[in-house]
Structure 1
Amino acid sequence: MNMKRLILLFIALAPSITFAQFDESWNLPGYTPIAEIVILDQLENTEGIKKTGDIFSKAKGVFSISAINTIQNRAMEKLKTEASLRGASHLYIKNFNPENSVFSKTASYSASTYRQEGEINFTKARDFLKDNQLQIELSRKYNRNAWKVIDQIQSKPVQRIKVEDIQEKGGRVLVKIFTSENQAILCEVIGLSDTRILLTTETRGNEEFELLGLGIRDKNVNIIQNRQ
């Protein structure tokens, strides 16, 4: 196999390898991986879970050469991906609109997102955030329109988090983090263990979302000064 083919093979395999590593390494309590999102058959099945929002997805085919089932599956995968990145554990499908004609093949879903109540303990999350020097170790970005999921390993320190930057609102744990470049990012805590935390944030309106995995920094590394 020549070098060009090796490079193309690496590019093709890298996203799926990273994707699997993310779900294995960052499957923290409170976070639901894409493959484990539950589809609710009836609204009566929402006992013990709380509505967190509404989302939609759409997938298109190329005229008659695209199988409608493939398009529907892609639209569902997009829906589950956004639900997972936004901290949901369950979906209730409100509308499903397929179009299967010679000239147009599309499938779209609209759904409400739900998550288990009390999954994230505010006191535990607050103490973890304020008591540790943290760094961003991995990010997962998803663009609803472009249908792209990009996983990236990082080692990006954040400034010491102040207690006033952490709050509980409507059952959600919100935190404002500041990067070393003093960039402020408003996030929601959706996963938490004793050594790691998962945060979700919107990076471009209601179109692009990012999941940030933060871990505890090595104490031997120079600590970023607190904001004045």
Structure 2
Amino acid sequence: MKNTKSTTFKFVLLLSFSLLLGVDGMAQFSGNNHDISGFTKINDLKIVNDKDEVEGQIEIAEAYSKARGATIFSPMNRINNRARRKLLEEASMRGASHVWVLHRTIEGGFGRFVSYHAVFYRHVDLAINPEKVRNFLQDGNLRPVQISKADRNGAGLKTEMLMSQFKLDPNTIKVKDKRVFVENVYLGGAETKGVNDSFERTFEVIGIDDKFIIVAEEVQEGKTFEARVYEKVQK
């Protein structure tokens, strides 16, 4: 037990330090030293061009990404890499393991531009167990660790320390199309509840182990997305 606590403390300390330095927190969290069941790291995502390769898998969502060059001299390979990276960042933080690319558009000349149109899938072997989620939420309190945000119109993934207090309610767990969803109870924190705000939100569980849980949310339909990491603290 002592070794487990020590390992967890060192991991959280390293994560916090990396965030303060501006390092990609989601990449840091999903690094080689810590694998979360159900969650696929960006570098482990599989890109496919044939629908047969995702037959029978869990469909998550259709997705788009784009990147533009600043000038007519912007290298097309760099523009393509940025658009591709944005697509994979969103795929990972939404719980995908496979990305089926439907179409890629490349426009050279003035206003250089690359866009991707794809569908995200999760392999059935990575399906989240709802009973494991229920037991996880019932057996301990959650300590917020970090939040990663993606905007399809933005530059890429942004990660920061998670300060707001959301309690994920095990009594709201639902399974739809082999995907596990849970609702929250707002407890207060950095995100101030306004008159027109609703904090009754639904998250999809995209990763879970004995110590951590990762939940994802589509904040603005087809535009912005978030992934939150919580650590379980014994009651």
Q: Report the TM-score when normalising by structure 1.
A: 0.82
* Secondary structure of 1:98 counterpart: strand
Question: Partner letter of residue 146 of structure 1?
Answer: G
- Cross-structure match for 2:112: 105
Structure 2 residue corresponding to 1:174, chosen from 170, 174, 181 = 181
Structure 2 gaps of 5+ residues are 1-17, 194-198
Q: What is the distance in 2 between the residues matched to 1:96 and 1:125? A: 37
Let me know the Cα RMSD of the aligned residues.
2.4
Does residue 81 of structure 1 match 2:89? yes
Q: How many residues align?
A: 207
Q: CA deviation at 1:86?
A: 0.9
- Cross-structure match for 1:46: 54
Structure 2 residue corresponding to 1:59, chosen from 44, 57, 67 = 67
- Where do 1:105-184 residues align within 5 Å? 105-119=112-126, 120-154=128-162, 156-159=164-167, 161-163=169-171, 165-181=172-188, 183-184=199-200
Q: CA deviation at 1:130?
A: 3.0
Does residue 185 of structure 1 match 2:201? yes
For the pair shown, which has the larger CA radius of gyration, 1 or 2? 1
Query: Is this contact kept in 2: 1:64–1:105, CA < 8 A?
Result: yes
Question: Partner letter of residue 208 of structure 2?
Answer: L
Question: Partner letter of residue 51 of structure 1?
Answer: E
Q: CA deviation at 1:177?
A: 1.2
Q: Report the TM-score when normalising by structure 2.
A: 0.79
Q: What is the distance in 1 between the residues matched to 2:225 and 2:168? A: 24
Q: What is the distance in 1 between the residues matched to 2:35 and 2:147? A: 14
Does residue 32 of structure 1 match 2:40? yes
Identity %: 31
